[in-house]
Amino acid sequence: MPFLVFLIILSASFYIYYKIKYFRSRRPMEKKLLSGKSSIALGLFVALFGVNQLFLFSTTVTYVVAAVFILLGSASAWAGYKSFRHHIPYVQEEAKQLDGQTR
């Protein structure tokens, strides 16, 4: 499935992008927000990889491994989403405080 391969590569690219932004950031709350975003991207990568395996092979072992990948990826993406949503107000407050200090 070329579409799934495209989504897998895209999610891996976003994971790398957010991890690079995480290491370059100096704000603590922004780091937590970026960590949540990278967790979402990594979870999607793992879950989509599991879905892709279902289309490639049709053995019992593949079904079990794909199910584990899909469950773990979905759980990671959900936890990353919850973390992202939790840290949004704190990042906005941190940006306001730092913006007020530079003026």
- The total domain count for the chain is 1
- pLDDT of 50 above 70: yes
C-beta neighbour count of 46 within 10 angstroms: 22
Quote the CA–CA distance of 39 and 25 in Å, as a whole number. 17
- Residue 34 has a pLDDT of 95
Whole-number Å distance between alpha carbons of 101 and 61: 58
Q: What is the pTM of this model?
A: 0.88
CA–CA distance, 46 with 51 (Å, rounded to integer): 9
pLDDT digits (tens, 9 = 90+) for 63-91: 999 999 999 999 999 999 999 999 999 99
Q: How far apart are alpha carbons 85 and 77 in whole angstroms?
A: 12
- pLDDT in the model for residue 96: 87
30-46 per-position pLDDT tens digit: 999 999 999 999 999 99
* Cβ-based neighbour number of residue 81 at 10 Å: 15
Q: Which domain holds residue 7?
A: 2-102
